[in-house]
Amino acid sequence: MNLKGKNAIITGGGSGLGKAVAIALANEGVNIGITGRNEENLKNTIEEIKKLGVNAAYSVFSIDDETAVKIGIDALVKDLNGVDILINNAGIGNFGTLEQMPSETWEQVIKTNLFGVYYAAQAVHPYLKEKGEGDIVNVASTAGLKGGANMSAYAASKAAVVSLSQSMMAEWRKENIRVITLTPSTIASDMSIQGGLTDGNPEKVLQPEDFAEWVRDILKMNRRALIANGSIFSTNP
């Protein structure tokens, strides 16, 4: 399916996986709206995207603030003159033992990673429903399929995203909205490298552009086909 002329909103699009997806879609002729908290990163990414010949805009807000998410998403839809695709990518990772991690940190991880997906999807859904079709890609993690030591909050948040996303899919596919749940393994991002999960070796470890190509190819599938769930791993890290 040709993506040229579509409009995509990518949360957490100023860096890492979100930026890589934004660039991959822009190379297909998709107009891009990105969100995040770091305005400088957003501005720099937008300038890079505009050089690819598509429309691009950004909105600064914290994904854990429902009102701000709604206002920011609505503004991007207006700037882009519509929305066809939502990439729910924004998230945080705080790692540590159950004993060490303060409950406030634990709650913030859940608020950002789970409620952020819910808020953004709820903000975009009415536009896709009115149009009669669309795509929502919810980025979870293999940590959400099987928890591990020192990642209780992160794993729990991503497990909840998987269940939320599957529930969205069951309801919204009846409106011709494809809801896709992706559970990538460790990718060389600032979060994973700083968290000590990987050294990011590009010879062995998944890179953001690998993930971006995967997302692009899934979205290009004929609309009669829906990838409900999918994982991607490094071959031999």
What are the contacts of 172-176 at 24+ separation with CB within 8 A? 172/125, 172/128, 172/129, 172/136, 173/226, 175/128, 175/129, 175/132, 175/133, 176/132, 176/133, 176/134, 176/223
> SS3 letters for 4-54?
CCCEEEECCCCCHHHHHHHHHHHCCCCEEEEEECCHHHHHHHHHHHHCCCC
**127 has catalytic annotation:** no
Identify the active-site residue in 118, 119, 127, 154: 154
Residues known to be catalytic: 154
